[in-house]
Amino acid sequence: MRDKACVAFLQGHLPCLGLRWPGFRKVRGTVCKRLRRRLRELGLDDLDAYAAYLAARPDEWARLDALCRIPISRFNRDSEVFRVLGASVLPELAWRVADEGGQEVRAWSAGCASGEEPYSLRIVWLEAVRCRVTGIRLDIMATDADPILLERAERACYSAGSLKELPREWRERAFTRRDGSHCLRPAYKDDTHFRLQDIRVAWPDGPFHLVLCRNLAFTYFDVDQQRKLLPELMARMHPRAYLVLGSHEELPPGSTGLEPAFEDLPIYRKQRATR
């Protein structure tokens, strides 16, 4: 399978899944590799044959959708975002919860892959926030559509490359070496819960003070899907909650109800309802 043929196939079929080609341009090699494997499994000669197979067997579209999931992640990805979360956003949320008589800040990591994002948030909380607040805990719900990735998240063991953006002292405190991997210590896994959910069709119960939806919906989903999803995210956010996107992502055109919270960072604050 040549790259040109794979590109043409993706450009023609991604829209049928509510996905958009520009998000896949740089990561198409991963999807094309999976497609080659799927062709071998089915005994098909090329992507034209696979297109005919899709037309004849509608249930194969779900398999194609799964082949298009991109699992790329790492700890502390977009380190400046996590620095600001630890220095400003999480303390503010904790103090607000305390003022309201609550006991926990609730966060949701949507599209959590192998757990790097929610565990990064947990590490930031323990290393940079906990000493500044008392009597408040951070509860994290992490969801993903891929059961294999969630199994890896539960194991919480990673390669050295996944940890390279974490400060060295945090790596040393949060992880232990086991069989060539870096495994998260139990204290850094507490109050982090994983659930199998596809955010296009199901969502955890809110409300959440902080929602991270990074490098997923606003990269790979088409604009119509984004516009359908955004109200679902906002419906699960507390008043004045924060939404965090990926560093190269933007809200769909015409979005309302959110305002930038920090200059040059993809962190948005839910606006107060106006009468």
Nearest to 54 by CA among 73, 68, 74: 68
Q: CA 27 → CA 70, 116, 216, distances in Å?
A: 8, 19, 13
DSSP run (H or E) holding 106: strand 104-110
CA distance linking residue 210 with residue 268, whole number of Å: 10
pLDDT for 1 equals 76
- Which domains does the chain show, CATH number per domain? 3-67 (no CATH), 79-270 (3.40.50.150)
pLDDT for 16 equals 96
Q: Which two tokens stand for residue 81?
A: 């975002």
- What is the model's pTM? 0.94
CA distance linking residue 263 with residue 74, whole number of Å: 24
CA distance linking residue 193 with residue 46, whole number of Å: 41
Positions in the chain short of pLDDT 50: 275
Listed in order, strand segments (DSSP E) in 111-264 are: 137-144, 157-158, 175-178, 181-184, 192-196, 208-212, 237-244, 258-260
User: 3-state class of 197 per DSSP?
Assistant: coil
Sheet holding 181-184, edge to edge: 157-158, 181-184, 175-178
pLDDT for 273 equals 63
